[in-house]
């Protein structure tokens, strides 16, 4: 599957939704939650604010956000994959039933402008057909002064040890393990999605040209992950 094919990406995420969280724990050794929590600590969402988790998938980040804010009110999770949202709804129904789950497109959410105090996106931007359009839409739905945090794999340009490590990790760890569950092709997509994904520096440039007032990029996980921090 080629990156940028929105319909195919939606189908892929629908097809892996029941195994997604389990495999995420295996592939990151459980560390993805630590990186997500780090993102929350940096942004420090506070009780009473209105936040949205774009590309929420099975709801991991939204639920961590609710836990962090000690309230599930005023939290929205949005994703294009309806099956992933079913998992999210099921996971949140006991303690976090106030989270609103919306089936929608990150590039055209149909949400009102200037609605949210904060926006999160974990491992979503790389999957959009246009990072720039995704950032434009994020800016539109944020209130002026609103903050956003985008967590994803780092994209490396040219040769580097960290880039080499990433290739080896994806090809020799992620894909073979996913293949054991019949999902090798689906997970080989991660490597493809990184080919045209902008580096941290380029993400800053893209965000500023999309209209964000401030943008900075922080590196996590011994250089393998990055968070783009934005102010609308
Ligand atoms: C790698 S998953 C990340 C899920 C979750 N945020 C996490 O960190 O575990 C990427 C998610 O982006 C969603 N996605 C991809 N393109 C999208 C789009 N155009 N609009 C909304 N969601 C999209 C997929 O359906 C998938 O659930």
What phi and psi, each to the nearest 5 degrees, are found at residue 180?
A: -60, -25
CA of 114 to the centre of ligand 1 (A): 22
Q: Which residues contact 132 (CB under 8 A, 6 or more apart)?
A: 206, 209, 210
Q: What percent of the chain clears pLDDT 90, i.e. is strictly above it?
A: 88
- pLDDT tens-digit map of 6-34: 788 888 899 999 999 999 999 999 999 99
- For the chain, the average pLDDT equals 94
In 3D space, the residue among 61, 63, 57, 100 whose CA is nearest the CA of residue 80 turns out to be 57
Domains with residue ranges and CATH for the chain: 6-231 (3.40.50.150)
Tokens of 32: 């993805």
pLDDT of 5 over the 80 cut: no
Least reliable range by pLDDT among 42-51, 97-106, 161-170: 161-170
CA of 198 to the centre of ligand 1 (A): 17
13 lines ligand 1 (CB under 6 A): yes
pLDDT at residue number 221: 87
Terminal-residue alpha carbon distance, the chain: 34
Q: How far apart are alpha carbons 218 and 232 in whole angstroms?
A: 18
pLDDT at residue number 137: 98
84 lines ligand 1 (CB under 6 A): yes
pLDDT of 4 over the 80 cut: no
Banded pLDDT at 1 (limits 50, 70, 90): low
Least reliable range by pLDDT among 32-41, 69-78, 179-188, 210-219: 179-188
Alpha carbon nearest to ligand 1 atom 8, residue: 122
pTM, 2 dp: 0.94
pLDDT at residue number 158: 78
């Amino acid at each position: 599957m080629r990156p940028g094919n929105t319909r195919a990406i939606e189908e892929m995420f629908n097809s892996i939704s029941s195994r997604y969280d389990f495999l995420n724990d295996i592939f990151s050794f459980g560390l993805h939650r630590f990186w997500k929590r780090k993102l929350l600590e940096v942004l420090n969402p506070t009780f009473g604010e209105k936040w949205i988790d774009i590309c929420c998938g099975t709801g991991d980040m939204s639920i961590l956000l609710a836990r962090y804010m000690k309230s599930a009110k005023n939290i929205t999770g949005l994703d294009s994959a309806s099956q992933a949202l079913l998992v999210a709804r099921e996971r949140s129904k006991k303690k976090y039933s106030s989270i609103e789950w919306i089936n929608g497109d990150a590039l055209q959410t149909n949400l009102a402008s200037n609605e949210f105090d904060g926006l999160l996106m974990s491992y979503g931007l790389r999957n959009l057909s246009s990072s720039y359009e995704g950032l434009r839409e994020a800016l539109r739905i944020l209130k002026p002064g609103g903050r956003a945090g985008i967590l994803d794999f780092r994209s490396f340009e040219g040769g580097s040890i960290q880039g080499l490590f990433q290739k080896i990790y994806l090809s020799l760890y992620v894909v073979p393990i996913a293949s054991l569950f019949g999902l090798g092709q689906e997970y080989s997509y991660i490597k493809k999605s990184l080919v045209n994904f902008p580096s941290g520096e380029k993400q800053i440039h893209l965000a500023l040209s999309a209209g964000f007032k401030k943008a900075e990029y922080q590196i996590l996980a011994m250089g393998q992950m990055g968070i783009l921090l934005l102010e609308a």
